[in-house]
A and B are shown apart, each in its own frame.
Chain A
Amino acid sequence: MKTITVNIVTPDGPVYDSEVSMVIAVTSTGEMGILPGHIPTVAPLGIGAVRLKKENSTELVAVNGGFLEIRPEKVTILAQSAERATDIDLSRAQESAKRAEALLQANKDEIDFKRAELALKRAMNRINVYEGNI
């Protein structure tokens, strides 16, 4: 089976580096599935889960922002932050989700509201990835 190399790097260091058979990522225009031999592409990423399909298993990585660079034999994901499902601290994610919700309730001004919304999104994404329900 043909495989493609996936690299996920963040400013704090590389997070993931392995051969997979398919990558599914959420870009700003929608979900995108990448198989080996894909045409060179660059696309911005949203907050979401990247699914890395191997022969008979799927791994999930929570990514936040950044973009995706595809070459026929290699996919590089440059994210501001990224965590593998096994590295996610569930209690911390739940806490930040709660904090963000409280901020949303308070709803002081527009900028704070947007930031709280994003924080909530990130936290929910991490929780979902941890629990594997994507």
Chain B
Amino acid sequence: MASLRDIKNRITSTKKTSQITRAMQMVSASKLSRAEVNAKAFVPYMHKIQDVVASIAAGSSDTSNPMMVARPVKKTAYLVITSDRGLVGGYNSNILRTVMSRIRERHTSNDDFVILSVGRKGKEFFTKQGMTILESAIALPDHPTFADIKEITRKAVGMFSDGTYDEVYMYYNHFVSAIQQEVTEKKVLPLTDIQPTGSTASYEFDPSAEAILEVLLPQYAESLIFGAVLDGKASEHAASMTAMKSATDNASDLINGLTLQYNRARQAAITQEITEIVGGASALE
């Protein structure tokens, strides 16, 4: 049986760990609420741009913009949004597992696809798998602004336009609630599934519908990616909060068990001492 001092040491160290995890839980909770605010701030922009894209796409039927035309797929790009650090529960492993199973379903060789990675964890994982990572963005701030991720979105859309790959899928954790996030797959490019919305105001185009689509579509695709990054960040903080909460709970369970064990051991030691004293005293009589 472990000695009194061993148990006491374990209790102390578990307590310290739980203090840290509790602090991390609170940090994540506050980051989560900010991330939610950021995601909300983005919504009006997304709605508006969707509206305009849809009404232009509906208005001009012969949209020959290369971004809206599906072409024969020689190479696929997977844009995977993960976190930079661990301690976020199943956040990263869920995404990476989904992506891997999709890739295995669709491709037989590593030459048929490329990876675009947001987040260090994804980058490390795919490097280990020996896959081609064309672009990666790591060390994003906790609350990214559009300027922070502009580089990778611009490249992701640019490489589609110049034919490096022929379709782009995006994987991220969609934030459902603080305790639930679901892995989401979204086809970003080509933009084939733009649904016309109800408001089909017929616009004048200055200079022309084609010229506007040329500006608008890359911006639309980029904002799709930005929206996913924001969503992913909110999920990341939520996942981290949940993971740290269960760590704290487990620690307090452990402490309870250990305290019980400690008290028992102390009791046993006292009883033994008394028995010894009584035994010694009776031997003298």
Q: Spell out A's residues near B (CB within 8 Å).
A: 7, 9-14, 27-29, 32, 39-44, 65-67, 69, 71, 76, 78, 80-81
In the complex with contacts A11-B226, A67-B216, A43-B205 CB distance below 8 A: yes
Given contacts A42-B56, A80-B219, contact A10 B146 (CB under 8 A): yes
Say if the beta carbon of B4 comes within 8 Å of chain A.
no
Interface residue B7 (Cβ < 8 Å from any Cβ of A): no
Residues of A within 8 A of B206 (CB): 27, 29, 32, 41-43
Q: Name the 8 nearest CB pairs between A and B, nearest first.
A: A13-B41, A11-B146, A44-B215, A43-B206, A41-B204, A9-B45, A42-B203, A40-B203
Q: Which residue of A lies closest to B223 (CB)?
A: A11
Give the residue of B41, B48, B205 whose beta carbon is less than 8 angstroms from that of A78: B48
- With A10-B45, A13-B41, A78-B45 known to touch, is A65 a contact of B203 (CB < 8 Å)? no
- B-side contacts of A66, CB under 8 Å: 219
A5 to B44, CA, bound (A): 15
Q: Are B45 and A28 in touch, CB under 8 angstroms?
A: no
Contacts of B130-154 to chain A: CB distance below 8 A = 145-147, 150
- Rounded to whole angstroms, the CA-CA distance of A11 and B207 in the bound complex is 25
Distance of A81 Cα from B147 Cα, bound (Å): 8
- Cβ contacts A to B, 22 pairs, < 8 Å: A9-B48, A10-B146, A11-B223, A12-B42, A13-B41, A14-B41, A14-B44, A27-B206, A28-B215, A29-B206, A42-B204, A42-B212, A44-B212, A44-B216, A65-B219, A66-B219, A67-B52, A67-B216, A69-B52, A71-B201, A76-B48, A78-B52
Number of A-B contacts (CB under 8 A): 77
State which of B44, B45, B203 has its C-beta within 8 Å of the C-beta of A41: B203
The closest CB in chain B to the CB of A71 belongs to B201
Report Cα–Cα, A80/B226, bound state, in Å.
11
Residues of chain B lying within 8 A (CB to CB) of residue A27: 206
**Given A44-B215, A65-B219, A76-B48: A11 touches B42 (CB 8 Å cut-off):** yes
Residues of A within 8 A of B147 (CB): 81
- Chain B: minimal CB distance from A83 (Å): 12
Whole-angstrom CA separation of A41 from B146 in the bound complex: 26
Minimum Cβ distance to chain A for residue B146 (Å): 4
Bound-state Cα–Cα, A65 to B150, Å: 13
Contacts of B52 in A (CB 8 A): 42, 67, 69, 78
Please judge, given known A-B contacts A10-B45, A65-B219, whether A39 and B204 are in contact too, CB under 8 Å: yes
B202 at interface by CB-CB < 8 Å: yes
Could you tell me if B146 and A28 are in contact, using CB atoms closer than 8 angstroms?
no
Q: Counting CB contacts under 8 A, is B211 at the interface? A: yes
B48 touches A12 (CB 8 A): no
For A67, list chain B residues within 8 Å (CB). 52, 212, 215-216, 219
- Whether the Cβ atoms of B146 and A80 lie closer than 8 Å is yes
Contact call B48/A40, Cβ cutoff below 8 A: no
A13 closest partner in B (C-beta) = B41
